[in-house]
Amino acid sequence: MRRASAAHAAEPADIQTRARAALDRRLRSDAQAPIAVCFSGGGDSLALLLTASGWAQAHGRRLIALHVDHQLQPQSAAWAAWCAEAAARLDVPFRTLAWRGEKPVRGLPAAARLARHRLLAKAAREAGARVMLLGHTADDLSETLAMRAEGSTTPLAREWGPSPVWPEGRGVFLLRPLLALERAEIRAWLTALGESWIDDPANADLRYARARARAAGAQGGARAEPLGPGTADIARAVTLEAGDVMRVERDRLGQAAPEAAHAFLSAACLCAGGGERPPRGERVEALAARLRGEAGVIATLAGARIEADGESVWLTREAGEAARGGLAEMAIPAGARLVWDGRYEICTPEPAAIRRLAGAAARLSPGQQRALSAIRAGARGALPLIVAGEAVHSPLLGPSAASAAFLAHARLLAACGAVEREPDR
C-alpha cells in the first residue's frame, strides 16, 4: 500500500467540490439506474469512489464498484480482495471481473485497455448502469499527450463520452470527474484522510510508454479537446431517411471548421459502417476535401458508403463490404436480442438467420418490395434480412414480428459530443 506526502495537501472541500461539480454537470440526481465505478484500488480510483459515494448518498443514487483483475501481477487476487473490503466499508456493492486467457507479448497495454473496457461495459449493461465513472486525472491526460507526440495512438481521455468498445459498450457513457485534478493533490488529500491505496508496479515499468512518460515528468494541467468545436452541432443536424440512411446538408460540412468536419466524418463513417476502428486520418481528410468541392461524390470509408450531390451528403452501409468479411450472416435464437453488423439490435420470436438483403429482393413480399423502392438504391443491399425457414422479410420494410433497432444514429450523437449528460431513461 502507498501513501503520499502531505506536502502538497489540498483542502478536502476543494477536491470534493471540483470533483462533484463534474458529477452534478453530467449525472441526473433523479435517475433510477445505478452508477458503475471502475475501482482498481489505486489512489485515483479510491478518491473517485470516496467522492462518488458521498455524491450518491446525497442524491439517493446507487453505486456498483467494478474491479478488473488483469491477472498480470502475482498480487492481483490480493488487490481484488483489498478493493472488495474498501467497497464494503463504504457500503458499495462490489464485483471483480477477470481478464482470462493468454496475454499478448507485444502491445500488452493496448490489449489490456481494450479487454478492460469490454469487461466493464458488459458488467455495466448487466447492472443496468448507463454511466461508468473512471479515475483519470490531468496527469493521465498530459502523459497521453506526451505518448502521442512520440507516435502512440492511445486515445485522448474526455471528461464525458461514450464507451470506446462496440457493440459491448452501446448506451454506456464514461465520466471522468477527476480529469481537472492533479495526481499529487489527490494523493495529498487521501493522506490527509488517513487513506492508503494500491501501487501497481507496472506504473513504474519503463517497458511501457505511459511509465516512460510519467518518469520523464509529464505534468498535469495540459488540456486537449479530442473533438473540434462545432462537431456536436453537425451531428445534431443529421436526419434519418427511409432505410436508416443518415443525411446532412453539404453546406454544413463545408462551412464548419476543418477539425469539426473531420471529427464528424470520422465518427459518421465509423457508425454507418458499424465497425470498431475509426478510419485513418489521411483518408478522412481526403474525403473532407472532396466534400468541400461541388462535384458529386460516391466513396467508401470504414465500411460506410458516402454519396453527395450539391445539397446533401448521405451515409449508409456499403453492401459490397461482404466481400471483405463484413455483413456476415448470423443465427439468432428465438427471443434473443443480438447486434448484427454493429448497426442493428435485432430480436426475433422464432429461430432465424440475419443476413444482408442483397440478392434476395425478389423473395420479398410485394408490399416489402414497394417499400424497398422508396429507399436510396445504394442503401438497399445492406439492410438486414430475416430468414426463418421459407419466410424472408426485413423488419425495416413493413409490419414484422421481428424488431430491428437502428444503433448508428444514437452512436453518432454520443461520439460527436451531442449527448451532454446522463440519458434520462
In angstroms, rounded to a whole number, what is the distance separating the alpha carbons of residues 138 and 99?
A: 27
- Grid coordinates belonging to 358: 442483397
In angstroms, rounded to a whole number, what is the distance separating the alpha carbons of residues 258 and 216?
A: 33
* Phi, psi angle pair for 301, to nearest 5°: -160, 130
R_g over Cα of the chain: 24
Cα angle for residues 147, 150, 99 (degrees, 5° grid): 45
* Phi, psi angle pair for 281, to nearest 5°: -60, -40
Q: Which helix H or strand E contains 1, and what residues bound it?
A: none
Is the CB of residue 315 less than 8 Å from the CB of residue 245? yes
Is the CB of residue 91 less than 8 Å from the CB of residue 84? no
Q: Could you tell me the CA-to-CA distances from 40 to 35, 67, 159, 364 in Å, in that order?
A: 16, 6, 19, 52
Edge-first strand order for the sheet with 131-133 is 94-98, 63-69, 35-38, 131-133, 173-175, 160-162
Tell me which residue of 135, 139, 194 sits closest to 6, measured CA to CA: 194
Query: Phi/psi class of residue 69: alpha, beta or left (left: φ > 0; alpha: ψ in -120 to 50)?
Result: beta
Is the CB of residue 36 less than 8 Å from the CB of residue 119? no
Contacts of 9 (CB under 8 A, 6+ apart): 188, 189, 191, 192
Residue positions forming the annotated binding site? 40-45
Is the CB of residue 397 less than 8 Å from the CB of residue 364? yes
Q: Which helix H or strand E contains 250, and what residues bound it?
A: helix 250-255
Q: Which helix H or strand E contains 409, and what residues bound it?
A: helix 408-415
Is the CB of residue 360 less than 8 Å from the CB of residue 392? yes
What is the total residue count of the chain?
425
Residue positions forming the annotated binding site for ATP? 40-45
Tell me which residue of 98, 68, 104, 73 sits closest to 83, measured CA to CA: 68
